[in-house]
């Protein structure tokens, strides 16, 4: 399979001395789901923002054979790199449907309408609330809206930053199952940032473990089918806090 995204020797600095990410390299194949796992402050969001073009970085990012390292964020979105930030960041005062329109601002009217249909089909929970203000949605519904807004842009690579944050396990399962459907239907690749290994296992193919801004371990999902192997990875890379 071809690599859709290649990250080579990525480093992120905040100011002169604070290095948040150090020489990180990994790749994402078409249609695959790659998880980045690590504790608070490990550098997960920094990597996602770097790939999205939202912060300045060192290193090389190749997307679909093109060096996008110096490309502005908007140009990366056009090529299909779409970031769904942690904390959802939907526009509460706007209606659910208007939030979706925002995600597809570059589309013509017909394409936009058909994509809104697609998103609402995928997330029926928000379909019957499409004309409500977004702040009236529950946390899980807001997460669905945030992912839906990302899908409006027609991503080839979706960067999902802790979609499970603050959600009940049942809702997380629902969101992840839907992501599995999208992925099967559209050959979408996903980079998923999470702290919870068990949930991540539902969807991902590859897992990279991050500590102190560095990649410290890798496991394929197949290697972690066994619960003893999962526990071993948790002990080695995540610590007890992430085991729940
Ligand atoms: N805007 C910023 N300015 C200065 N330092 C920052 C900034 N954003 C992040 N950092 C620092 O960079 C490091 C990595 O942060 P990052 O947000 O990438 O971690 P994370 O793995 O996403 O953590 P979390 O799980 O808490 O979201 C941390 O030490 C953090 O304090
Ligand atoms: Mg983060």
- pLDDT 10s digits, 34-88: 999 999 999 999 999 999 999 999 999 999 999 999 999 999 999 999 999 886 7
Q: How far apart are CA 26 and CA 173, in angstroms?
A: 26
- For residue 1, the model assigns a pLDDT of 63
Cβ–ligand 1 contact at 87 (below 6 Å): no
Spacing, Cα 42 to ligand 2 middle (Å): 8
Which ligand is located closest to the Cα atom of residue 19? Answer: 1
Q: What is the mean pLDDT of the chain?
A: 90
Superfamily of domain 3-80+155-243: P-loop containing nucleotide triphosphate hydrolases (3.40.50.300)
Instruction: Using pLDDT thresholds of 50, 70 and 90, give the confidence band for residue 173.
Output: confident
Cβ–ligand 1 contact at 92 (below 6 Å): no
Q: How far apart are CA 215 and CA 44, in angstroms?
A: 10
Count of residues for the chain?
Answer: 244
Instruction: Using pLDDT thresholds of 50, 70 and 90, give the confidence band for residue 240.
Output: low
CB 58 within 8 A of CB 11: yes
CB 27 within 8 A of CB 3: yes
Indicate which atom in ligand 1 lies nearest the CA of residue 18: 5
Write out the residue limits of the CATH 3.40.50.300 domain(s) in the chain: 3-80+155-243
- For residue 3, the model assigns a pLDDT of 93
Which pLDDT tens digit goes with each residue over 100-159? Answer: 999 888 888 899 999 999 899 888 889 999 999 988 888 888 888 999 999 999 999 999
Cβ–ligand 1 contact at 16 (below 6 Å): no
Nearest CA to ligand 1 atom 30: 41
Nearest CA to ligand 1 atom 18: 43
Spacing, Cα 43 to ligand 1 middle (Å): 6
């Amino acid at each position: 399979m071809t690599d859709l995204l290649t990250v080579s020797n990525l480093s992120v600095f905040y100011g002169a001395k604070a290095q948040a990410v150090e020489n990180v390299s990994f790749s994402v194949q078409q249609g695959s789901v790659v998880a980045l796992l690590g504790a608070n402050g490990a550098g997960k969001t920094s990597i996602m923002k770097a790939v999205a073009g939202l912060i300045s970085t060192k290193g090389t990012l190749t997307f679909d054979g093109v060096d996008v390292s110096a490309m502005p964020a908007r140009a990366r979105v056009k090529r299909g790199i779409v970031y769904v930030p942690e904390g959802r960041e939907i526009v509460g005062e706007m209606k659910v449907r208007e939030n979706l329109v925002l995600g597809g601002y570059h589309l013509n009217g017909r394409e936009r309408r058909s994509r809104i249909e697609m998103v609402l089909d995928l997330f029926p929970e928000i379909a019957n609330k499409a004309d409500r203000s977004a702040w009236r949605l529950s946390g899980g519904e807001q997460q669905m809206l945030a992912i839906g807004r990302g899908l409006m842009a027609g991503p080839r690579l979706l960067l999902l930053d802790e979609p499970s944050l603050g959600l009940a396990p049942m809702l997380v399962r629902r969101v992840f199952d839907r992501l599995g459907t999208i992925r099967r239907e559209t050959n979408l690749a996903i980079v998923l940032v999470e702290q919870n290994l068990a949930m991540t296992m539902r969807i991902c193919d590859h897992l990279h473990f991050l500590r102190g801004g560095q990649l410290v371990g890798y496991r394929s999902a197949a290697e972690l089918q066994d619960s003893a192997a999962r526990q071993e990875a948790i002990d080695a890379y995540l610590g007890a806090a992430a085991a729940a």
